[in-house]
Amino acid sequence: MDQDCGFRKGDKWFRYRAAAIIIEDDCVLFAGNEVDDYYYSIGGGVHLGESSEEAVKREVFEETGVQYEVDYLAIIHENFFVGSSSLKGVDCHEICFYYMMKPKGDKNLNSHSHTMGGLKENMHWLPIDQLENYKAYPTFMKEYLKSDHRGLIHIVTDERV
């Protein structure tokens, strides 16, 4: 198993992550699992020696069963939050590169994905114009997808409160 770029020290956790923004038919693809009550972006930890672009393509294939191509790097996100599930109560710090993926023209997936904790993941196509009705992370994605989002932006969020 390849080693993710991240570490835990006591009650603090850090991870370097790559994630995808996949849009088809005015819907964006999010993941969910059988324990948590929210949706989250498609992606995962960048392995040591792997570029973030290589990581996002690998993660998207692992989670969706579909080979998507990268369009462009869209967001660099510095995220501070309190963990849940296997990281419950842990002070988390994550750096994530979000890549806009090229659309395929359909929403067909072949997903058999599991979280790093072994939970079964399900993929969900959420309508962009209804994202405010869903508990979905990252929270900035709702506004980002409704705006003109061409080009690279840097976002810092702190959800530890």
Give tens-digit pLDDT for 113-122. Answer: 766 667 789 9
CA distance 98 to 108: 22
Closest by CA to 32, choosing from 118, 120, 98, is: 120
Q: 6-150, what's its fold?
A: Nucleoside Triphosphate Pyrophosphohydrolase (3.90.79)
Mean of pLDDT over the chain? 92
Domain locations along the chain:
6-150
Is the pLDDT at 151 greater than 90? The verdict is: no
